[in-house]
Structure 1
Amino acid sequence: LHIFIFFIYYFDLLFFVYIEPSFFEFIRDHFDSKWMEDDRVKLISEDGLNYLNHSDAMYDVIAIEVGQIFRPGIAFFYTADFYHRSRQRLRPGGLLTQLVSLPSLTTDQFEGVIKTFLDAFPQSFLWYNSSDLLLIGMNDTDFKISRTALERLWSNESVHQDLRYTFWGGPQQWLNWLPVFLGGYLAGPQELAELGSEARLYRDDLPVLDYATSLDYITETNEIPIVRDRLLKHSGSLEEVIDFTLSAEKIAIIEEIQQKNLGAIIAEAILRRAELLTLSRDDAADEVIKLLSEAVGWNSDHFEANRMLADVLIGQGQNKAAGRHYVEANRIRAEEPHVLHGIAHTLYRLNRIEAAIPYYQASLRLRPNHAETHNHVGLALAKRGDFVEARQHFKTAIRLDPDYAEAKHNLAGVRKVLQAMSER
């Protein structure tokens, strides 16, 4: 739960509505719940639909986060009736946000959600948020992102730190960097209208979506055709929604981020497919490598895609190829101990011992209690002739993992060498 993040921004009141009565006590028992004691926070155990239907309060922001559409009753949060009722509860200039979980929607259903949302909020925008895209509807006739608001990305330290993360890359893709933040923009009113032009409007009295999702839900593939066949062909120009001018160079960077965001959605769907294949079959390595290579092709700066591909390649003895992808992963996100260990191990397997040892050591500085790395650096040191230091690493590996048979074997071997050397 990240509700406490709201507290770095100014607000008068925060209404938290959740249908399960025991939910709030669960939060108090298991999470940091200081925010719940703030006088500005109102905790309401109620069905969100009923609450909005019967409330006469007015809001600046209504955020709908109800999860996958296939869950019972959730589809009613995606109807034109609900959106129109919600808009009546918004102050002028207010906004409603709706998570759109692509894995739980077919292409037709996604287009229906877009059309239905626009029926109540013609001034709407689609924003990247991993595969759970964010629809933002404005209770206004026009909307522009102002430079003044964006200046908080670097002028407000709390906001800057809050956005110091990336969905798929490294520090170069942190959201507190202006081009990356703006690269989250995917489509505006015109593009969304085109996307939903042939779709069906969802209403309360005809729960088409509620029934269809249980039949059409395909966990690992839905977002691929939505992004490949629809969003990549209907992405919007950021210049339509900002009130200031950007240089051609900045626009090019933003558009590249936009494309990589969409590519990341496809890449992550492929990664899940590869993981399922790995779990279901022992002989699927070649197919998994092909899938992971495809994922990297959709977004070459995707950290997990490069790391996973390197892991599979090294497991198949393809050390040079594995090394290339470990190096790429390290370029994207440095100081990851698993990746540093991977670079070291590929170098070791390629008999580049001197080059391997510093990477093993760097990995251990970040992850000092990792038995396998101690064992591997011990092997490299022993191969270089540093038997005393190697012995210490083997001992540490065994201390960390008393059942580590390979480390015990290696320790015994080093002891024999040292004993033989002492007897000369």
Structure 2
Amino acid sequence: MRLIVGDGRSHLLLTPRRYDVIVSEPSNPWMAGVATLFTREFFEAARARLKPDGLLCQWAHTYDISPADLQSIVRTFASVFPQGTMWLIGEGDLLLVGARDGEIAPRLAAVEHGCRKGGASSLMATLGAADGTAAFTILSLYAGGPRELARYADDALIQTDDRTALEYSAPAAIYGPSVAENAVAIRALRPELPPPIRDVTAPASDASWTSLGAVQLKAEAYSFAYDAFQQALSLNSRNAAALAGLSDAAAGSRRPQKAREWLEALAAREPDNVAVRVELSRVMAAAGDFQGAIEESSAALRLAPQDPRVAEQAAAVLADAGDGDRLAPLADELAARFPDRPDARYYRATALFLRGRTEDAVTVSRQLVDSQPAHARAQNLLGAACATLGRTDCARAAFEASIRANPREASTYTNLGALLLQTGDARSAAESFAEALTIDPQSASAHNGLAQARAALGANPR
């Protein structure tokens, strides 16, 4: 690798070298001078430095940009790379990939071939894609080819060096459209898929769609994730991972009721579907409907008494409800029947904590996290138990380990915030409570904690 530090556009204009691939990922066009990296002259400079079969990949964003500006970027790109494609990455990023020469469609077959080599699969795994789904995950992001670029761009303004309207219009749109508006418009193009993409996506299994949902969920593209999980469930309504993903995606987009209603309808159609009853119980418990959650988990237990996951969901409901007396015998039964399952030990520790046996809860939860350090809930429980006993260092280390294992759990940030406030670190406490509220804006404990932290900062601003 050769690193060149300098102005990228100047390098393209001055270097004699030609490249197989050029990737342009500048800052947002509302930054001073950046709009010149979205002009026709820039794209022409990049095209001139590509080898005959070379590709340009241009990044753009769908958030905080007006439809007219995004269409202008697309039309400007297509004016130089008529054989171009669009790829929608999550709900906020758009990749424009264009070929210097020849048609782009036949080259899409290389994606599947490249994914079979192994490198792409290992890379996609870091994004949440399951093994063997790399080609499907990548190709499912296809949003359009040359015809869709032309249809979307319509007669939008072509940006040029001597008429860079984007320099002035982009800042004005920062607080305009939502992230979803432009992404929804691009998805609505519904392109006719080229054969290399159709051959991979058409026969996709529920496992492949679940994997795509997991990738979108990790990217916080909640609406897209919800659609992917729903597609998976249309193929297999008993896919537990897809059911859980559907609920998580709905919660991420702050529409948990949507998932609950969908799950209730599915449970009514398929009364013997254990997986949907387990997930419905989880959704009800998250909404505070513990009685409904207990009823659903009990129904699931009657259908599948030998399934440890069903018993664990019943235990989870009792734990969330704070019912240590009813949880204790169920947790002991879980630990006796399924001693190798980490959650059996977790619920046993939870029952001990809820019944006031805090020292014993610390012992059991510490044994669990020593063997399962990525068990986020066990780390959170250990932190709460240590905090109750006044062991500040133990509590903080456990809360921080829990956050590393699962950075999307609001209660852990709230617990850490309460600990930091108790130790006099009001500023860090406020940051922790604020983080909790970005995940769960309705959290009363996080709201109260943030108010107390701000009050403490007001009394002692240093």
Asked if these proteins are the same fold (TM beyond 0.5), I'd say yes
Q: Which runs of 5+ in 2 are unaligned?
A: 227-249, 263-280, 296-310, 368-379, 392-462
Say which of 51, 61, 67 aligns to 1:91: 51
Q: 2:365 & 2:199 partners in 1: Cα distance?
A: 60
Correspondence 1:380 to 2:351: yes
Say which of 97, 115, 130 aligns to 1:153: 115
Q: Is the 2:213–2:225 contact (alpha carbons within 8 Å) kept by the matching residues of 1?
A: no
Correspondence 1:404 to 2:364: no
Q: 1:70 & 1:348 partners in 2: Cα distance?
A: 49
Residue number in structure 1 paired with 2:72: 112
Say which of 39, 43, 49 aligns to 1:79: 39
Q: Is the 1:224–1:269 contact (alpha carbons within 8 Å) kept by the matching residues of 2?
A: no
State the 1:43 CA deviation: 1.6
- 1:334-391 deviation line (CA, Å, top 9, x unaligned): xxxxxx99985434245562556769x999959xxxxxx97x7434147799999547
Residue number in structure 1 paired with 2:142: 185
Q: 1:257 & 1:383 partners in 2: Cα distance?
A: 36
- 1:271-318 deviation line (CA, Å, top 9, x unaligned): 9xxxxxxxxxxxxxxxx9795117976xx9xxxxxxxxx999867634
What is the TM-score with the length of structure 2 in the denominator?
0.54
Q: Secondary structure at the match of 1:49?
A: helix
Give the percent of matched residue pairs that are identical in Structure 1 and Structure 2. Answer: 20
Correspondence 1:233 to 2:194: no
Residue number in structure 1 paired with 2:62: 102
State the 1:255 CA deviation: 9.5
Q: 2:282 & 2:340 partners in 1: Cα distance?
A: 16
Q: 2:314 & 2:389 partners in 1: Cα distance?
A: 21
Distance change >3 Å, CA 258–CA 82, structure 1 → 2: farther
Q: 2:202 & 2:9 partners in 1: Cα distance?
A: 45
Q: Is the 1:266–1:295 contact (alpha carbons within 8 Å) kept by the matching residues of 2?
A: no
Residue number in structure 1 paired with 2:30: 70
Q: Is the 1:100–1:132 contact (alpha carbons within 8 Å) kept by the matching residues of 2?
A: yes
State the 1:82 CA deviation: 0.8
Q: 2:99 & 2:145 partners in 1: Cα distance?
A: 11
Distance change >3 Å, CA 323–CA 151, structure 1 → 2: farther
State the 1:398 CA deviation: 9.9
Correspondence 1:346 to 2:333: no
The aligned runs of 1:175-214 (5 Å cut-off) are: 176-214=133-171
Q: Secondary structure at the match of 1:204?
A: coil
State the 1:94 CA deviation: 0.5
The aligned runs of 1:5-404 (5 Å cut-off) are: 41-130=1-90, 131-143=92-104, 144-145=106-107, 147=109, 150-154=112-116, 156-166=117-127, 171-172=129-130, 176-218=133-175, 221-228=177-184, 230-239=185-194, 245=199, 248-250=202-204, 267=222, 292-293=254-255, 317-319=288-290, 345-349=316-320, 351=323, 353=327, 377-381=348-352, 389-390=360-361, 392-393=363-364, 404=387
Q: Is the 1:75–1:210 contact (alpha carbons within 8 Å) kept by the matching residues of 2?
A: yes
State the 1:124 CA deviation: 0.4
Distance change >3 Å, CA 268–CA 146, structure 1 → 2: closer
State the 1:95 CA deviation: 0.5
Distance change >3 Å, CA 265–CA 79, structure 1 → 2: farther
Q: 2:34 & 2:360 partners in 1: Cα distance?
A: 60
Equivalent residues, number = 315
Distance change >3 Å, CA 129–CA 363, structure 1 → 2: farther
Residue number in structure 1 paired with 2:277: none
Moved more, 66-75 or 377-386: 377-386
Q: Is the 2:66–2:173 contact (alpha carbons within 8 Å) kept by the matching residues of 1?
A: yes
Alpha-carbon RMSD across the aligned residues, in angstroms, is: 5.1
Q: Secondary structure at the match of 2:32?
A: coil
- In the alignment, residue 380 of structure 1 is paired with which amino acid? A
- 1:153-190 deviation line (CA, Å, top 9, x unaligned): 23x23332122244xxx555x68433222212111110
Residue number in structure 2 paired with 1:307: none
Distance change >3 Å, CA 48–CA 290, structure 1 → 2: closer
Q: Secondary structure at the match of 1:135?
A: strand
State the 1:108 CA deviation: 1.4
What is the TM-score with the length of structure 1 in the denominator?
0.58
- In the alignment, residue 66 of structure 2 is paired with which amino acid? T
